Amino acid sequence: MAAFENLDGDDDWDEGFAGDLVGCTLLAGLTFVDHDDALVRRQQIFGKVESVDRADGIALRCHVSDELVMLAPILDAIEPGQPGIYQLSDADEQVEDPDFTVLLTVRNPLRH
């Protein structure tokens, strides 16, 4: 498993919040861009948080595929979910009242 590295120098990890996320539902909106910030694709995933670790990331068990997805452990980006029904753009699936939501951008590095 690849470790995530804090690149901004801040060390504001909230161990209590990280622990509170385990067992909660999380709706994640992922935007994938290339090294020039051009859009590659967008994806939405939803599932239960299995673990949260400062180095390993957020382990999210996807509701539909049962796949374990690792998300960057950027706790500041996670917000309480607003009540309602969320339509996933990639599927016909709907998510009702997620505990938390997060929007993340995944940037591909320039490869030589």
pTM of the complete model: 0.85
Q: 36-78: per-residue pLDDT in tens?
A: 999 999 999 999 999 999 999 999 999 888 999 999 999 999 9
Q: Tell which residue, 1, 41, 50, has the closest CA to residue 21.
A: 50
Average pLDDT over residues 2-25: 77
Residue 101 is predicted with a pLDDT of 96
The pLDDT of residue 68 is: 97
Where are the domains positioned within the chain? 18-107
| Bridge pairing between strands 100-107 and 25-33 | parallel
Pairing of strands 39-53, 25-33: antiparallel
